[in-house]
Amino acid sequence: MNWINESCVTVDMFQLLNEGGKLVGEKPDIPDDKLLQLYKQMIFSRVFDERALKLQRQGRIGTYAPFTGQEAAQVGSAAALDKGDWVFPSYREVAVSLVRGVPASQSLLYTMGHHSGSGDPDAHMFPVQIIIASQTLHAVGSAWASKYKKEKQVSVAYLGDGATSEGDFHEALNFAGVNSLPVIFFVQNNQWAISVPLSSQTASKSIAQKGIAYGLTSIQVDGNDVLAVYETMKKAVQLAKEGKPILIEAVTYRQGPHTTADDPTKYRTKEELSAWKQKDPLLRMKHYLIHNHLWNETQEEEETAIAEQKMTEAYQTAIQTPRSGLDDIFQNVYHKKTSNLEEQQNSSKRGEVSV
- One-character DSSP codes across 204-245: SS-SGGGGGGGT-EEEEEETT-HHHHHHHHHHHHHHHHTT--
Identify whether 214 is a catalytic site residue: no
Q: Which of 148, 267, 291, 323 is catalytic?
A: 267
Residues 6+ apart with CB under 8 A from 69: 190, 224, 252, 253, 254, 255, 256, 276, 277, 280, 281
For 325, other C-beta atoms within 10 Å of its C-beta total 12
Is residue 267 annotated as part of the catalytic site, yes or no?
Answer: yes
Active site residue 293: no
Q: Is 91 helix (H, G, I), strand (E, B) or coil?
A: coil
242, 86 Cβ separation under 8 angstroms: no
CA 147, 154, 14 angle in degrees (round to 5)? 130
Please report the beta strands in 141-228, taking only residues with DSSP state E, as ranges in sequence order. 155-160, 183-189, 192-193, 196-197, 217-222
Beta bridge partners of 200: none
Q: Which of 51, 100, 124, 254 is an active site residue?
A: 254
Looking at residue 28, what DSSP letter applies? P
* CB-based contact 350:326 (threshold 8 Å): no
Residue type, 199: S
Give the Cα separation of 321 and 222 in Å (integer). Answer: 39
Residue from 323, 275, 261 nearest 63 by CA = 261
Catalytic residue among 92, 115, 138, 258: 258
Q: What is the C-alpha to C-alpha distance for residues 282 and 287, in angstroms, rounded to an integer?
A: 9
Catalytically annotated residues = 254, 258, 267
